[in-house]
Amino acid sequence: MKNLFFLYRTIILLLLFSCGESITHQNWKKGNLHTHSLWSDGDDFPEMIIQWYKDHDYQFIALSDHNIIADSEFWYTLRERDIKNKTLEKYQNRFGDWVEIKKDSVITSVRLKTFEEFKSKLEVTDSFLIIKSEEVTSSFEEKPVHMNVTNIQEKINPPKGQSVLDIMQLTINAVIEQSKKLNLKMFTHINHPNFGYGVSVEDIKKLNGERFFEVYNGHPAVNNEGDDMHIDTETMWDLINIHYYDKDKPLMYGIATDDSHNYHTLSSEHSNSGRGWVMVNSKKLNPKNLIIAMENGDFYSSTGIYLKTIFANKHRLFIEINPEENTNYEIIFMGYKKGSNEVAQLKKVQGTSASYYYKKDDIFIRARINSDAKKENPYKPHETKKAWTQPFIIQ
Ligand SMILES: [Zn+2]
Ligand SMILES: [Zn+2]
């Protein structure tokens, strides 16, 4: 009996090796890298926001307020809006004596907890990570230029530049410099390029050192899908990567984020939590390992679809979905081929898993997964759940 077992095991192992494939288990960690709180223009306390993500199966969160990193003493004065939303009441009900209030006859102020304080209160080793971040926010001739810095340690002031491109490059350079100085992994990502149509494909093409941008942002004002005059962010992504490939630059990766500001009213008019996130394949839950995985393109972006497997070897790319009930899926392989000037659809499969076997002239490919599942709280009416894998170059 024992001999038979070994025989079977040997046959199975031989089969696996002869195909050159063994699909290892992937450790997906769910996170949102773009969130606002009362430290800037969000409408809730950091702990309340973080608690929401913790309660909704996320493993990491970055609060990325505008031009601030929550490291100083800040007494927030309650406004009309907060009275209406019962913001303080909800905060006190959840966190009790932890809440610090100052009152005089006219105003009520609440001390916003610093990054170190809310991190030590809410972070849980190996299961929930809080990452320091800043949305470096400026504009050039009324064009918004916003860049998130994940795992920033020292605040970066928005640089003064001669153009949108100049401001972005100066921000990237400042982050590279800080990362070197502190010997710590951190990265910039370009926020919502179509917000106010501030950042163009031509700008992004000329950047050096940028690896990430938001292919999806859940704020209703950001125009992910473009308009009559402007292309959508997914088309932007492909044009940038054709250029980066031709210029020998590492490919750009696409991130999905919430960019949430509003935590009391849920609707397509508001920027709420839970609309877009990244799933990073990392065994360990710390900024360094997450960033290394993301820089390797070992993550996908989602607005509702969960993937079980993304597997690539020298022959094929294989995608397997973790399906929801009563949902139809479509897996689309997109690629850039030799002699072409666009990223085109290579194969489309209806179902919950699919493989694409590379052709001789394929240069880089990625997959988009569509579904007919409606989002519970869409960023635009009729929005359906999607996911995007990262592009990679076929050697
Ligand atoms: Zn922004
Ligand atoms: Zn933002």
Please give the radius of gyration of the chain, using alpha carbons only, rounded to the nearest integer. 22
Is the pLDDT score of 7 beyond 90?
no
Tokens at residue 377, please?
A: 């709280």
Span from the CA of 27 to the centroid of ligand 1 (angstroms): 30
Span from the CA of 220 to the centroid of ligand 2 (angstroms): 12
Do 215 and 234 touch, CB atoms closer than 8 A? yes
Span from the CA of 24 to the centroid of ligand 1 (angstroms): 37
Span from the CA of 189 to the centroid of ligand 2 (angstroms): 11
Q: Please, what are the domains in the chain? A: 30-74+112-393 (3.20.20.140), 75-111 (no CATH)
| pLDDT digit string, tens, across residues 167-205 | 999 999 999 999 999 999 999 999 999 999 999 999 999
Span from the CA of 148 to the centroid of ligand 1 (angstroms): 8
HSE (CB half, 13 Å, CA atoms) of 386?
21
Span from the CA of 222 to the centroid of ligand 1 (angstroms): 9
At residue 104, φ and ψ (nearest 5 deg) are -125, -170
* Gap between the Cα atoms of 164 and 208, Å rounded: 14
Do 363 and 394 touch, CB atoms closer than 8 A? yes
Is the pLDDT score of 2 beyond 60?
no
Torsion sign over Cα 93, 94, 97, 98: negative
Residues in contact with 376: Cβ distance below 8 Å, sequence separation at least 6, in sequence order: none
Span from the CA of 167 to the centroid of ligand 1 (angstroms): 14
Read off the amino acid at residue 321: I
Q: With helix as H, strand as E and coil as C, how does 180-210 read?
A: HHHCCCCEEEECCCCHHHCCCHHHHHHCCCC
Measured from the alpha carbon of residue 259, the closest ligand is: 2
Mean pLDDT value across residues 134-155: 98
Span from the CA of 35 to the centroid of ligand 2 (angstroms): 6
Span from the CA of 146 to the centroid of ligand 1 (angstroms): 5
Q: Note residues around ion ligand 1 (Cβ under 5 angstroms).
A: 146, 191
Whose structure tokens read 């070197």? 180
Span from the CA of 218 to the centroid of ligand 1 (angstroms): 11
Cα angle, residue 386 at apex, residues 381 and 391 outer, rounded to 5°: 135
Mean pLDDT value across residues 72-89: 97
Q: CB burial class (10 A; 0-12, 13-18, 19+) of residue 349?
A: middle
Q: Output the pLDDT for position 4.
A: 53
* Gap between the Cα atoms of 365 and 357, Å rounded: 11
pTM of the model: 0.94
Read off the amino acid at residue 88: L
Q: How confident is the model at residue 25 (pLDDT cuts 50, 70, 90)?
A: confident
Span from the CA of 61 to the centroid of ligand 2 (angstroms): 14
- The end-to-end CA distance of the chain, in Å, is 44
Question: Mapping DSSP to helix (H, G, I), strand (E, B) and coil, where does residue 94 land?
Answer: helix
| pLDDT digit string, tens, across residues 315-366 | 999 999 999 999 999 999 999 999 999 999 999 999 999 999 999 999 999 9
Helices (H), the chain: 2-19, 46-55, 80-85, 87-95, 115-122, 164-182, 201-206, 233-246, 287-295
* Gap between the Cα atoms of 228 and 219, Å rounded: 20
Which of 156, 152, 151, 153 has the alpha carbon at shortest distance from 171?
A: 156
Is the pLDDT score of 121 beyond 90?
yes
Span from the CA of 42 to the centroid of ligand 2 (angstroms): 9
| pLDDT digit string, tens, across residues 290-303 | 999 999 999 999 99
Tokens at residue 235, please?
A: 């088309």
- Greatest Cα pair distance, the chain, in angstroms, is 85
Tokens at residue 75, please?
A: 């007494």
Q: Output the pLDDT for position 22.
A: 73
Number of H helices, E strands in the chain: 9, 20
Measured from the alpha carbon of residue 137, the closest ligand is: 1
Span from the CA of 42 to the centroid of ligand 1 (angstroms): 12
